[in-house]
């Protein structure tokens, strides 16, 4: 099956630090990438959708200047949490849709990144 590599899996850093999370598709081209945020014992909340080579589309309430998304190639997308604060602590998950995939095709998820801001 499709493999998505997300790293780091866990990061702890001081308040004010910027943190970059990488998400790679290892065996397929992904035109569309999704970034989710998940609080403990809660569901996945879609933060933004990005298409390769174009600007990300952010969901309502998500600060685009806080959460910078770069989808520079068909196999790589990054999420940078800028000037992170304790309230940004959460579990972040990426997922890809294969190039040409329709709505009936599942997304392929990364293993997630646990971000802890001290």
Partner 1 sequence: AQTVTQSQPEMSVQEAETVTLSCTYDTSESDYYLFWYKQPPSRQMILVIRQEAYKQQNATENRFSVNFQKAAKSFSLKISDSQLGDAAMYFCAYRSPERGLKYIFGTGTRLKVLA
Please give the residue ranges that form the binding site for partner 1 (CB under 8 A): 32, 34, 41-44, 46, 49, 91, 93, 95, 97, 101-104, 106-107, 109-112
What are the beta bridge partners of residue 91? Answer: 38, 114
DSSP 83-113: T--GGG-EEEEEEEEETT--TTSPPEE---E
Of 1 and 14, which CB lies nearer to partner 1 in the complex structure?
Answer: 1
Of 14 and 103, which CB lies nearer to partner 1 in the complex structure?
Answer: 103
Of 42 and 83, which CB lies nearer to partner 1 in the complex structure?
Answer: 42
- As a whole number of angstroms, the longest Cα–Cα distance in the chain is 41
């Amino acid at each position: 099956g499709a493999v998505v590599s997300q790293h780091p899996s866990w990061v702890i850093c001081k308040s004010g630090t910027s943190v970059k999370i990488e998400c790679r598709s290892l065996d397929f081209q992904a035109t569309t990438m999704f970034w989710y945020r998940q609080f403990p014992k809660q569901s996945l909340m879609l933060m933004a959708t990005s298409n390769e080579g174009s600007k990300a589309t952010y969901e309502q309430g998500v600060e685009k200047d806080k959460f910078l998304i770069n989808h520079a190639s068909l196999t790589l997308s990054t999420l940078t949490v800028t000037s992170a604060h304790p309230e940004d602590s959460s579990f972040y998950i990426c997922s890809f849709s294969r190039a040409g995939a329709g709505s009936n095709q599942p997304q392929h998820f990364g293993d997630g990144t646990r971000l802890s801001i001290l």
